[in-house]
Structure 1
Amino acid sequence: MSFDYVHERKGTRSVKWDLIKAIYGSDEVLPLWVADMDFQTPQPVIDSLVDRSKHGIFGYTITDTTINNTIIDWLYRRHDWEINKSWLLYSPGVVSTLHTAVQALTKPGDSILIQTPVYPPFYNIVKNHDRNLVTNSLKLVNNSYEIDFEDFEEKLRLGVKAFILCNPHNPAGRVWTKEELTKMGELCLKYDVKIFSDEIHADLVYSNQKHIPIGLLSKEINEQTITCMSPTKTFNLAGLQVSYAVIPNTKDRDLIKDFFNSQGIYMLNTMGISALEAAYKYGESWLEELLSILEENRDLVTRSFKDRDEINIIEPEGTYLVWMDCRGLGLKNEELKKFMANKAKVGLNDGVSFGEESDGFMRMNIACPKAVLKDGIDRIITALDNYNKSN
């Protein structure tokens, strides 16, 4: 399969491509925003879906021992994590599981910690259920984000009940180290704070990095953690709505399962199950090629802006998302959004949506053919040059 081929996605009800005019005001904007890829999923996944569709009957479908074992094998092979099949709980998506975990394991008025800037739905996961949002701002040091552990512990000490971890981190691109994860995990144990770990980007780490599931660190941390994972980011399956959580704590697992049942969420959709199985069984070689392409794309973005004063690239260690420090332009968030959409004709995610401290930042999705990415980079650089000439 060629990662250079530019697939036509307009007219497929694509959020990324078919909402461009509604969101950015023009069909001429190149979308490099929402986090799905412009690459086809592996051929074995496509074949599996075609074969399943030919059966023609799409009734209620179970996740059986074969599916459990497929996930168990994947986590052990890719992340050295040995889990028990009884720990698995399925849901339509990681965000759905996080919402449910907050409702099942905390109470209205409880404080929940997130590390900002962070994936925008994290805010609603806390606020929509009448929980108190507490933030631990990451520190930008030497062009990389670090955890402010003094502030982290102080917030936990004041009575936080749950901590939503993002690893690898979106949008900072950090793949947290064993030392960082251990320190966070041990502090959560010390203050009896539940860990809700979003690890949807676990498989998307670059060659000099290693993803470590926080539950792998110790039995005690594992028992304190709900780990949310999915093949959807890895294999571009987001529209199929399939994810799973690893929950070794029996009481927590039962509470979350009961809450799912109370909401009428009993099972996954038929095609999502088929896609998960095929991706994890037969998609590994495709994934290795994808990671190579993403690394090339990351390096292209970094090189392209290396000598620019206006934009500094926070080089990611994982994910296919690049965090861009555009403060050198001297534009506030709304002005920067308009500059990118109207002048550069590129659709990016604005920084403030990830946290108030990120005024002047933008997020770029680099999971696209190199020609598309280069077009986006060239558009931004041309707009920068024109802006400098006029100011």
Structure 2
Amino acid sequence: MRMSIVKRLVILLPGFEHMPVEAHYRRFVREAGKTAPVYGMRFTEPSSLETSTAEAGVETGRFSLDTQGDDSSVRTDFVLYGLGDITLFYASRNPVIRLLSGLFALLDFIVSGTFFRFVTTSWRYALFFVYPLLVLAGIAAASLGAGYLIDDIFPNSPFVLPGTALLAFTCLLWFASAKLHLLLLMDDWTFARDMARGKCPEVMTKMENVIADAARQISQTSNDTEVIVAAHSLGAICALPVIDEALKHNQSRRYGLLTVGSSLLKVALHPAATRLRNCVAKVAQSKTTWIDAQSLTDPMNFYKSDPIRDLDIAKGRSPVLMQVRFRHQLCDETYKAIRRDFFRVHRQFVFGVDKRTRYSWHAILCGPQRFADIAARGGLPCEQTVCADDSLKIVGPAIT
């Protein structure tokens, strides 16, 4: 049998995580190694990670993986953009500023009507929106309760109640930030508001630099190289503009777009996010093959959403929607260990798997199947004798 040889460029856009490029790289290689035998593949790394820092201060990593199968050989070159530099910008602020700016952002999403669009688009995501508000309400109530309790014990001092309440609030806020990721969530919503409204020039400059550099990397590849832009979570709001920018250089080329656990609608549903919606429309009207992976288990993605339908884009093809069940990809022990940690569940989209299903981040990006073929088939090759049903639902046909 003739060996199939594939050359591929993957633009990697991670989510809103406080992780440097090297940590993202180590995780990708580690989880790829875990996934490889499940899909009958072998990975080798021809060169180590090379990092650089762009002019706007966004760290970039480049590495390659060679994949060998029974009758295939794939060289995948990765360009990984360290959006963690952007999260660090928000995380380095004073905790009070982080809290207040997050509250202001949440209020913006309510007043603008975006929250109510969340409710009609994906009610589970609306619950995720409410979560930090409920945590803060609980902290405030517990702090006041502690203040009144101590005030009853020491009733003659006017400073006992406010002092105790403030101390309790500070301690509980620290606990919620450390254990419940509260301040990270506040940064996340502040970032989403800034992206929707085009605020915070420093961050916007970083994002524009990533988009321009990624499009330049794509334009420099040969025509026989498959190009995939792959994004997790909030990385999707950068992925669509990257494809849009690449289309300005070459409209005839068929690009691949993989969004997993996408937070695209988090920003795109905001009335001020006109530019992002225009990018979505242009990508939907192009030859781009788009796969959007979603999971019921993950409260931080828009389960059962269709970006084209939900953004009221009249002309354009919907992505191929993969509804993935993590339970069917993992051994029972692993699934039980992560299922109550919704941040870890959200990251499972980019982690390795124990069982073969139609979706795998690493098998799609590194495997021998071409992206357009995966989309047309509705997922990775999956024989029922060795592969669990991952409840895949194909909503939009792939462009072939």
Instruction: Provide the TM-score with structure 1 as the length reference.
Output: 0.29
Instruction: Provide the TM-score with structure 2 as the length reference.
Output: 0.29
Which structure carries more helix by proportion? Answer: 2
Larger of the two Rg values belongs to structure: 2
Greater RCO structure (CA 8 Å; 6+ sep):
1
